[in-house]
Amino acid sequence: MRAATWTGVNEVSVETVPDPQILNDHDVILRVRRTTTCGSDLHLLGGYIPFMRVGDVLGHEFMGEVVEVGRGVRERKVGDRVVVNSFIACGHCWYCRQELYSLCDNGNPNPGITESLWGQSPGGCFGYSHAMGGWAGSHAEYVRVPYADVGAFVVPEEVSDERALFASDAVSTGWMGADLAGTKPGDVVAVWGAGGVGQMAARAAMLLGAERVYVIDRLPERLAQVREHVGAETIDYSRTDVLAELREVTGGRGPDVCIEAVGMEAHSSGIQGAYDQVKQQLRLQTDRPSAVREAILACRKGGSVFVLGVFALMVDKFPLGALMNKGLTVRGAQVHGQRYMPRILEHMARGELTTEHLATHVMPLEEAPRGYRMFKDKTDGCVRSVFVP
């Protein structure tokens, strides 16, 4: 089959690779119908997560049609049109039973790497390096889906492929951030990052009853999408002092909930931006956390900060004093998507959650290298490149 693979730092190729096989009883094989780039892929591409091997198949946000099922699969059958969560979770361990699916004890066959880095190992993720299990990704004609009864959800007839695709990760991640940050009716919510995940965190906050939602970014086309498709207000951080603006629009309190949807390659201006760039390039810190810092400083006393962006290891100049003295709750997670996808698909079927606008560039899989270039450089207003194998 054809697949898009990582072939070096900032280098993607499309090549012929072996077809996937059923290896466990709970597997299905999916014919991929849609698969999309995600901002977190850029950390892999750029070499910031040094556990990729040349030839690894990329992609973790996808949907498709079941073409083969393992003998232990009970809920899915050949012909089902399904969307699959990006994290691989067994559904049986204590973490899965608590609906903390991305923390699954059994979904990562390489726990030695992540235990050594973080003390414990989270679950596995499709196409996201050998640290996260070495699973082949979805930018391919076919993909193997382990634990398919747990992670693959049938798409309602009235939901298009383009809409369902983003339930896989962008919407479920955004929804999780808004939910686990404790968003309540009447809250003011601020979201850093107007990519797919940030937009969907904002939309989820609105559906959970937030009174006002602000999304912060610098790219005009993304901020325009937020206003037009999400219905939230926007702040351009390249023109506006974000802390001052948020204080002003919240009566001096600060947002009740702050959601960071940027990750380890955050842009920032001035001395902070230069400082973080230099330290990251010298490997004195692995991540650039400017959006997290700002979220902590912006948040109201006793408020909640949720870290949705992907971080690898260590950061510097972390405002621990603000966190402690303001009594903040700070939480983060990879996506517990299995917990939210049934509800998300219902919202999608009712037209309350639309995502088609995120797919600004839809192209054949063969054009994946171009799609990633556009996505990385943010040219031609690219929010997401979507591949059709």
Partner 1 sequence: MAVPRILDSLRGAATEAGGALLGRLQHVRLPGLGQSSTTEDPETAARRWRAVTVLCSPEQVGTGADLPAPLAALGDRVELRITPAPGDRGTELAARYRDRPSDDDLRALRSALRESKQLIEVGEVLRVDPAPHGVRRPTPQGAALEGMTRRAGGEGVL
Window contacting partner 1 (CB under 8 A); options: 61-69, 143-151, 189-197, 317-325 = 143-151
Letters for 295-314 (x = contact with partner 1 by CB under 8 A, - = none) are -------------------x
Asked if 143 contacts 30 with a C-beta cutoff of 8 angstroms, the reply is yes
Shortest CB 388 distance to partner 1, Å: 19
Asked if 197 contacts 173 with a C-beta cutoff of 8 angstroms, the reply is yes
Shortest CB 106 distance to partner 1, Å: 5
Q: Where are the beta strands (DSSP E) in the chain?
A: 2-8, 11-16, 28-36, 56-57, 61-69, 81-84, 87-88, 124-125, 142-145, 152-154, 188-192, 212-217, 233-236, 257-260, 304-307, 329-332, 361-364, 385-388
Asked if 167 contacts 344 with a C-beta cutoff of 8 angstroms, the reply is yes
Window contacting partner 1 (CB under 8 A); options: 61-69, 130-138, 215-223, 334-342 = 130-138
Q: Does 20 bind partner 1 (CB under 8 A)?
A: yes
Q: Does 318 bind partner 1 (CB under 8 A)?
A: no
Asked if 336 contacts 100 with a C-beta cutoff of 8 angstroms, the reply is yes
- DSSP code of residue 263: -
DSSP string covering 157-210, please?
TTS-HHHHHTTTTHHHHHHHHHHHTT--TT-EEEEE--SHHHHHHHHHHHHTT-
Letters for 85-104 (x = contact with partner 1 by CB under 8 A, - = none) are -----x-xxx--x-------
Q: Does 74 bind partner 1 (CB under 8 A)?
A: no
Query: Which is nearer to partner 1, 47 or 364 (by Cβ)?
Result: 47
Q: Is the dihedral of CA 158, 163, 233, 288 positive or negative?
A: positive
Q: Does 26 bind partner 1 (CB under 8 A)?
A: yes
Q: Does 49 bind partner 1 (CB under 8 A)?
A: no
Q: Does 115 bind partner 1 (CB under 8 A)?
A: yes
Of residues 147-176, which lie at the interface with partner 1 (CB under 8 A)?
147
Q: Which residues lie near partner 1 (CB under 8 A)?
A: 1, 3, 5, 7, 13, 15-21, 23-26, 50-57, 72, 90, 92-94, 97, 105-107, 109-117, 119-121, 124, 130, 133-136, 140, 144, 146-147, 314
